[in-house]
Amino acid sequence: MQRQVEKNCEGPEMSLVCLTDFQARARERLSKSTWDFIDGGADDSFTRDDNIAAFKRIRLRPRFLKDVSKVDTRTTIQGKEISAPICIAPMGFHCLAWPDGEMSTARAAQAAGICYITSTYASCTLENIVTAAPSGLRWFQLYVQPDRQLTKQLIQRAESLGFKALVITVDVPIVGNRRHDIRNKLDLKMNLLLKDLQSPKERDSIPRLQMSAIDPSICWNDLSWFQSITQLPIILKGILTKEDAELAVKHNVHGIIVSNHGGRQLDEVAASIDALTEVVTAVQGKLEVYLDGGIRTGNDVLKALALGAKCVFVGRPILWGLACEGEHGVQEVLNILKKELHTSMTLTGCRSVAEITQDLVQFPRL
């Protein structure tokens, strides 16, 4: 299978030069039910599509006659340097796209010098992911489990394995209404073993293919419990409003990922880039703000940074790269975005990430 993938994806007549090229190739490569699971949104998929369209409503204001002979894309997140403000969002079930799954993704992130957020619903164990990319910068994304002891064990296991932040997803008290998956009768319980959500004894026994529930009772006052059991900085993923951003500051979290879950949860909410300014304004620089949702080009990255994001996290395009060429495909997706960002910075007169400011963008009158 892997040899066939390489044959299909390589060669000058099949060159993949932008993220939408990878999208088209991945769609050819994957089964319909897998493609629908990766690509699908909630309900009418309005927000999924608006995440992308919203970036195209923003115009750039380039500045010229600046010495752009040297352009530096490096930045930091939570005090750790990354080669560019382009990182990998948490997504489950990478083995659907490529046999080595998250291990390939982790190796690509390590090679690129960027952060990879590993999902609770990874199809490889945390230990195997760390072994595959021992020096990579990793954060751990948590879906809070009804069993608090299991939740505590997961967090402390991630911390002991060298994950550098805890990303708590807040926008999934229940799973959104994903029509494609319902139509396809997609049952990941029968396809994959969630090894990280089982006891060590269960991991060594016959797979009991089950997805665990997510705790819908989690609330703001529970954050103090998480802070009591880990030294890791806590990032909240899924914040879209100034009210919740202010509460995040009040509860002493270290970061926010502005996100609507790729349009997979509540449809008809704001596109991530449209919600970003409200959140950035609300936190007043007291914590770092990141963004995911709709990033497809280097210009998109530039626009997000200009509106106050410290970095962006990329979702579906990573799985497209993985489906095409495994680790190499993910590296290529990241390299394309990094090169496009470098070009965008050069052509707008930004020599460093620090020079990407709000006066670079404008919203045309409708």
pLDDT at position 42 is: 95
Q: Residue 164 has what pLDDT?
A: 98
92 is in an annotated binding site: yes
The three-class DSSP label of residue 65 is: coil
What mean pLDDT is predicted for residues 238-250?
98
Average of per-residue pLDDT values in the chain: 91
| Structure confidence by residue, pLDDT tens digits, 318-343 | 999 999 999 999 999 999 999 999 99
Q: Establish whether 259 is an annotated binding residue.
A: yes
Of 94, 261, 328, 342, the catalytic one is 261
pLDDT of residue 188: 55
Beta strand 137-142 pairing with 115-118? parallel
Range from 163-172, 208-217, 334-343 carrying the lowest mean pLDDT: 208-217
Residue 3 pLDDT exceeds 60: no
> Span 63-88, mean pLDDT?
98
Check residue 24 and give its pLDDT.
97
Stretch 210-228: mean pLDDT: 88
Q: Options 3.50.50.60, 1.10.1740.10, 3.20.20.70, 3.40.710.10; which CATH number does 19-362 get? A: 3.20.20.70
Span 263-304, pLDDT tens digits: 999 999 999 999 999 999 999 999 999 999 999 999 999 999
Residue type, 145: Q
Q: What is the pLDDT at residue 185?
A: 76
- Tell me: is residue 293 an annotated ligand-binding position: yes
pLDDT at 7: 38
Judge whether 316 is annotated as a binding position.
yes
With the CA atoms of 169, 174, 179 and 184 taken in that order, what torsion angle do they form, in degrees rounded to the nearest 10?
A: 90
Which tokens in the block code for residue 6?
């390489």
The pLDDT of residue 202 is 47
Residue 13 has pLDDT above 60, yes or no: no
E-state strands within the chain? 59-60, 75-77, 80-82, 86-88, 115-118, 137-142, 166-169, 234-239, 255-258, 288-292, 312-314, 361-362
Boundaries of every domain in the chain: 19-362
pTM of the model: 0.92
User: Is the predicted pLDDT of residue 227 greater than 50, yes or no?
Assistant: yes
Tokens coding 251: 């509860």
What is residue 213's predicted lDDT score, i.e. its pLDDT? Answer: 72
**Residue 292 assigned to a binding site:** yes
Give yes or no: 261 in active site. Answer: yes
